[in-house]
Amino acid sequence: METIVSVTGGKVRGLTDGGISRFLGIPYAAAPVGPARFEVPKPVADWAGVRDAVELGPTCVQSPYPPPIHSLIGSDGIPGDEYLNVNVWTPDAGGSGLPVLVWIHGGAFVRGSNARKIYDGSAFARDGVVVVSINYRLGISGFAAVPGAPLNRGLRDQIFALQWVQENVVAFGGDPGNVTIFGESAGGMSVIDLIASPLARGLFRRAIAQSANGSAVATADDALKVAENLATALGIAPNAAEFGACGPDELRRAQDSVALALITDPDPARWGASIITNGLGIMSYLPVVDGELIPDRPVDILTAQADRTVPLIVGWTAEEFRFFTYPSGAAAGITDQTLPLVLPRYGLDPAVAERYTANRPNASAADVFSAIITDLVFRDDAMRIAESTAAAGNPAYVYEFAWRSSIENLGASHVMEVPFVFDQLAAAHTLTGPNSPQPLADEIHRAWTRFATHGDPGWSPFDPTTRIVQIFDSPASHEVADPRADERRALRRSRA
């Protein structure tokens, strides 16, 4: 059955089946092509008649993931200009007052889209929540510091999309006063950036940051160095006019070549220290401290300015960094001899490995490395943000997703919790294996639904004294007070 609603730009036709209506590929901003690719987002032009919203929309230009990662999670690449679009799932387009979840996808700010099956919002709609998943500009288009162009265009798209939600979600039965943003990886980092940003205030009520980091930002000067390398790769002058004259395939090829150059030659003098340190030497594009949208490192803003915090769920997977070390083959190069040489590249005293090794007597050096960098990149920032949120008087709920995939060497890696959150296990067998536990998906999906509805996911809030963390696992989840506290303290001493 078809369902028609009116949104900014005109009327759209979605499909309703089993009590759930879905509207796919609705443009929330004008197509950012040509010179507009490097401008702030603009309102969508009105269309005549009723526009079909029954197929997934285009995605921002990007290359497929390399084979090891592609085999686990797939890749994105739907051609078309109107890639600033949203998908909406609702249980009642004619209703009112429903809680709203807005999903921001991950992909290291260079890949990903709202078109993935594991991001299908129908299970949330089944349980009474309106879900809006958004696309935003990526890579060169969204985050390159092009002279003459506004910074943080991808984050500006996200804010523009949240404004669209405020103006239009009532048409889908949603309550604009009860919006929760949530995202994973680069999407989780975006969530933290939006919490800290003065330009996003009032656009959401709560937030969920999955596998996030509040330190992954670049200075404007360092981001400019990446843009200059891009201009060299393209054979153009580094300005908005010449970047805007490049076609999407040209930009994609330059983006790939610069990413490879950064990985093979991570020289801070060439790329900038903040790119190398905060991007771990593998991320070419980061949100930029611009004094406006991002006034400072988000983790520092939330520590210093209590009024910026909001009710929050924040957490990580227990073995995040295995996703980056084992599928790529990098783990083979991490031995007892090389581990002390690798850790200083991440700003760590090699002595920190002694504590992690003592707690894992049978672990390989690669396993110890993954545990340390998991905590450095994800766990420690999540804890700091939870501490700041709780100190400000807002509820903070902390979790660790500990269930381990049956796919060889993945464990409880990065991305693993996402299909559980969306209750889309059937679409995730290449990541989870074929026998992932449905009761665990029921549990974590229900917790996110509860939080979006009334702010309580169902486990004890975090406070600096008890430091309660919900461990999601099968056959039984449980709460733990300050898990692996000795490692947390050793890591903080090491990076101080």
pLDDT, tens digit, 9 for 90 and up, residues 89-132? 999 998 899 999 999 999 999 999 999 999 999 999 999 999 99
Which of 113, 133, 185, 197 is an active site residue? 185
Cα–Cα distances in angstroms (integers) from residue 66 to residues 172, 323, 334, 387, 430, in the given order? 38, 13, 21, 37, 15
Instruction: Name 112's bridge partners.
Output: none
pLDDT, tens digit, 9 for 90 and up, residues 134-177? 999 999 999 999 999 999 999 999 999 999 999 999 999 999 99
DSSP string, 31-53: ---GGGGGS---PPPP-SSEEE-
**Rounded CA separation 246/166 (Å):** 34
Cα–Cα distances in angstroms (integers) from residue 232 to residues 176, 225, 240, 265, in the given order? 45, 11, 14, 16
- Percent of the chain at pLDDT > 90 equals 91
**Over 80: is that where the pLDDT of 281 sits?**
no
Say if CB 44 and CB 69 are below 8 A apart: no
Say if CB 308 and CB 195 are below 8 A apart: yes
Give the DSSP letter of residue 375: I
DSSP string, 67-93: HHHHHHH-------S--SEEEEEES-T
Q: 414 catalytic, yes or no?
A: yes
Which of 320, 417, 443, 487 is an active site residue? 320
Give the pLDDT band of residue 496 (cuts 50, 70, 90): low
**Rounded CA separation 179/168 (Å):** 12
CA angle 95, 99, 100 (to 5 degrees): 105
Q: 185 catalytic, yes or no?
A: yes
Closest CA to 401 of 373, 370, 443: 443
**Rounded CA separation 364/69 (Å):** 22
Q: 429 catalytic, yes or no?
A: no
pLDDT, tens digit, 9 for 90 and up, residues 25-61? 999 999 999 999 999 999 999 999 999 999 999 999 9
Mean pLDDT of the chain: 95
Neighbours of 109 (CB within 10 A): 26
Q: Which domains does the chain have, with CATH numbers?
A: 2-214 (3.40.50.1820), 220-278 (no CATH), 326-495 (no CATH)
Report the pLDDT averaged over residues 202-221.
96
Q: Where are the beta strands (DSSP E) in 165-256?
A: 174-184, 206-210, 218-219
Report the pLDDT averaged over residues 461-484.
96
Identify the pLDDT of residue 94. Answer: 87
Give the pLDDT band of residue 1 (cuts 50, 70, 90): confident
Which of 133, 414, 417, 443 is an active site residue? 414
Give the pLDDT band of residue 328 (cuts 50, 70, 90): confident
Report the pLDDT averaged over residues 14-31.
96
DSSP strand pairing (50-52 vs 396-401): unpaired
